[in-house]
Structure 1
Amino acid sequence: MQNVPEEWREEQRAGGGGEVDAKPWEGREALFQINTVNSKQDMDRGKENGETGVKERRKENVEMMNEGGKGRVLMMELTRLVQKTVKESSWWERRGIDITILVLAFLLLPPAFLLLGSSQILVFVLGMVLMGVSHAVISIKGTHLASHGSLSESPAWAEFWAVFFIEVCGSFTARAGVTGHIKMHHAHTNVIGLGDSSTWKIPCLPRSVYLFIAPLAIPIITPLVALGQLKDHSVSQALRTVLMVFLGFYSQHWLLMHVSGFQCPYSSLLCMLLCRAMFSIPYIHVNIFQVRW
């Protein structure tokens, strides 16, 4: 991992660069931050002119590298490879596998709610495990796919799934979630002080608490952080986020009370917390790269 100067972190916090918010259907394009039109034109010219086009592109690449454009050339080549791989992939490879996993996660919910209504401790624990696994798949994998717009080619449906998975299931704001993932996570992966490592800092805690106890509070921290992000949203977006997050919490609470048969609202809320926090520790360890060893 790399360390970055303090002024870089200050620039990021100040919103330097003037980048616009990423949208879920712009995920792949936002990853590379290059002019893919020029890349496509280069490829078309190479096809039309045969060897001449290839030589011209190579000559242009050499000139760009000599002028300090090595990074841009590499990203253009990476974009070509990604576009080629996506084009050659089947629908099942692009979306089918992930959608199947999400469907299976949703199918785990009915038996989970029913098992949570059992008075037998082992059956009850099994219900909690199923609920925790289902929530982890939906809220982590679902939000990740939705932030990239990978669930649909339609911009309208991509935005719908982003709101559903990130706000209803993930208890976060879709706008900040997509922008943070595309602009921070992929742009600054493994760079200490930027990206994910800038979102999970509690230096006052001992390392064991920081690594293995504090992450259990993520289900509580996430909606609170989302509320803090609403100041940068329009009134309509902020209202939608609040309603969608409330819908996600209330629907699970209602099902626990009326399907699982919980008698006390506090026991239902405790069950929700345990299920939602079940995989928060590995989530933090995998996604947040600045850990205090």
Structure 2
Amino acid sequence: MNWTAERIGDQKGRTFVVTGATSGLGLVTARELAARGGRVLLAVRDAARGEDVAALLRRAHPGADVAVRRVDLLDLGSIRRAAAEIGSEPVDVLVNNAGISMVGHSVTALGTERHFAANHLGHFALTALLAPALRRSPAPRVVTVTSYLHEKGELDLDDVAWTRKYTPLAAYSASKLANAVFAVELARREESSPTPITSVLAHPGYSNTPMQSKGSGLTGILMRVAGRLFAQSPEMGALPQLFAATEPGLAAGSYVGPDGRGGRSGHPTLVPLSAAARDPELGRRLWERSEQLVGG
């Protein structure tokens, strides 16, 4: 039987933090969790837009427990402030969903390429800072959203600013590989913890989200047209991360994606991880490099 959002159990008494919850997969994820009684913290860069979304969710689901926490994943100060506010209460599940794609080359204040900074490094810092709040939950879980494109990615940890030849697709794919490697390394490190956090991964397949409209020029036009014609809906694309966030008994390191051909569409199921994502040496190096960059 295909897994759908209708199979999500009662989430009353559980607190979820969802990054990038104002649109696309994050919005669908927040909506479904709130509809089932979860307390949902919308961790978003644009607080005003977040409040609009929170009001929308409350109208759709009277009594929904939704709040906004501002966090800019490109700003360590913002991440620290948000984590201090969020961490005042236990957190059951952190959904590292937010992301950017297909942007031109730029380097952040930390000296890293923008995709790597927003998609991986910001979530790395947020996860570390929220770990104490997660450990106060009886069954803490971190869901990191990657992409099937991580299989095409290459991580050069000696050149996080991408001084070599740059393409948006290559940088995005590398950042999604970083997401996958981080999630597996987190699962590996939590094995020895007395209060382990379960780290799992999800990918949405090929989904028609606002990311499809971010490209510029001919590439952007092609992305938007292909998204409308061939991609599955955000409602379907969000199912793997909803499964990863709510399915009881999911093992650490599990990877959830669509069950259709090539993993591009369909209903959520456990799927195999790439060898690069499972590489323990790459996991160790990424973790240590990330700690150096965020000062952790």
Task: Name the structure where helix makes up a greater proportion of residues.
Answer: 1
Structure number with greater CO (CA < 8 Å, separation at least 6) is: 1
Task: Name the structure where strand makes up a greater proportion of residues.
Answer: 2
Shorter-chain TM-score range: under 0.3
Q: Tell me the TM-score normalized by structure 2.
A: 0.23
Q: Tell me the TM-score normalized by structure 1.
A: 0.24
